[in-house]
Amino acid sequence: MEVSSLPISASHRAKLISAGYISISSLSSISPAHLARDLGISENEATGILKVASQRGGPERTIPSHHSIVDGAQTAWDMLHEEESCRRITTSCADLDDILGGGISCKEVTEIGGVPGIGKTQLGIQLAINVQIPLEYGGLAGKAVYIDTEGSFMVERVQQVAEACIKDMQEYDSFLRKDLPARQVNLQANDFLANIYYFRICSYTEQIAVINYLEKFISEHKDIKVVIVDSITFHFRQDFDDMALRTRLLGGMALKLMKLAKKFTLAVILLNQVTTKYSGGSFQLTLALGDSWSHACTNRIILYWNGNGRYAHIDKSPSIRSASAPYAVTGRGIRNLASNCKRVKLILRARLAHDEHICRSLI
């Protein structure tokens, strides 16, 4: 049970969340003096909060000895089967999809970081559109949640990418049905926009509150297949002097997002900024939020410049090897480099037709 459900004042709930007390169980071993110091309130107020929390959390902590704390175990065979059958969200860049094993995986948290202007938000928008591609076109027919902490989400750009996605589907359909009359894709750009749920976040307390709210929201909107946070970093770089508190809050958010990914079989995308780190006698660029945060995500993708070209590098993943691939940000969205476009389009069409023999001959 979460502290947001406690019958206490809204200001006290906000202070609890801001101080990193997300669940009622996190208050079980705290003294009134300690809580008063963390929240900046009187010890009497802290005692009252702990009393309410103990009343609400008491029955939940009483577990009969003959019942298991966990619901059950899963065999490694079941896990392998789930992983093999797990759907992926295409990035619209075949080279990038190839190194990702087919696209961004559901049931996992993927961090994507890079310098300003490298295309992080563009990739986030592309995934929010591509998750909606219908099943008959190789998509997930899902919806997206977009949590914007920086104000970089541009609805005009989303509409542009959606229109390009519809044109792509029409091209693929024409290829598959080349001996049959062409048919129209029964989707409009506005249909894509209507399936993206947008949250604008202006502080780290709002960010924590929205992530705590997501489980309820997704339960009520069953088709959500991707959650994008753009960026996870912004407010946690601006508002913090207490690094221990920041680490605790970020850890709590990471656990929440991992749970959401597993429970609802969806992809969680966390966009991250870069910072400098002193190493080996010089300053180097690295993803923000420190070393402890680097363990919070299943996969980590670093976007970088190589000359005038954009590249994506898989820096960490338990299931796919480290590799790099070029990509481009175009008027149509994320795409392959122009020199590869013709070959890639043929490969994508063949894959959509599920013809592995054709794919091998083209590569």
pLDDT tens digits for range 193-230 = 999 999 999 999 999 999 999 999 999 998 999 999 99
Q: What is the DSSP letter of 340?
A: G
pLDDT of residue 291: 75
At 321-336, the pLDDT tens digits run 999 999 999 999 999 9
Both structure tokens of 13 = 């709930």
Answer yes or no: is pLDDT of 356 > 50: no
Taking residue 240's Cβ as centre, other Cβ atoms within 10 Å add up to 15
- Beta pairing, strands 324-330 & 309-316: antiparallel
**How sure is the predictor about 156, in pLDDT bands with cuts at 50, 70 and 90?**
very high
User: Is the pLDDT confidence value at 1 over 80?
Assistant: no
User: What tokens appear for 2 in the block?
Assistant: 């979460």
Higher pLDDT, 88 or 241: 88
| pLDDT given at position 19 | 79
How is the chain split into domains, by residue range?
A: 3-55, 78-361
Mean pLDDT over all residues of the chain? 85
Q: Give the CA radius of gyration of the chain.
A: 23
pTM over 0.85: no
β partners of residue 216: none
pLDDT reported for residue 9: 86
Round to whole Å and give the CA distance between 181 and 217.
Answer: 42
pLDDT at 177: 64
Cα distances (angstroms) measured from residue 46 to each of 16, 22, 80: 10, 16, 48
- For residue 258, which of 296, 300, 232, 292 has the smallest C-alpha distance? 296
Going by DSSP bridges, is the β-strand pair 224-230/109-114 parallel, antiparallel, or unpaired? unpaired
CB 159 within 8 A of CB 138: no
pLDDT in the model for residue 65: 41
Q: Where are the alpha helices (DSSP H) in the chain?
A: 10-18, 32-39, 43-61, 76-85, 94-99, 120-130, 155-176, 189-194, 204-220, 234-238, 243-264, 290-293, 341-352, 356-362
Nearby residues of 83 by Cβ (< 8 Å), 6 or more positions away? 319
SS3 275: strand
- Hey, what CATH class is 3-55 in? mainly alpha
Q: What is the pLDDT of residues 57-110, one digit of tens each?
A: 654 444 344 444 455 677 888 777 777 778 899 999 999 999 999 999 999 999
How far, in Å, CA of 238 to CA of 189, rounded? 36
Is CATH 3.40.50.300 correct for 78-361?
yes
Percent of the chain at pLDDT exceeding 70: 86
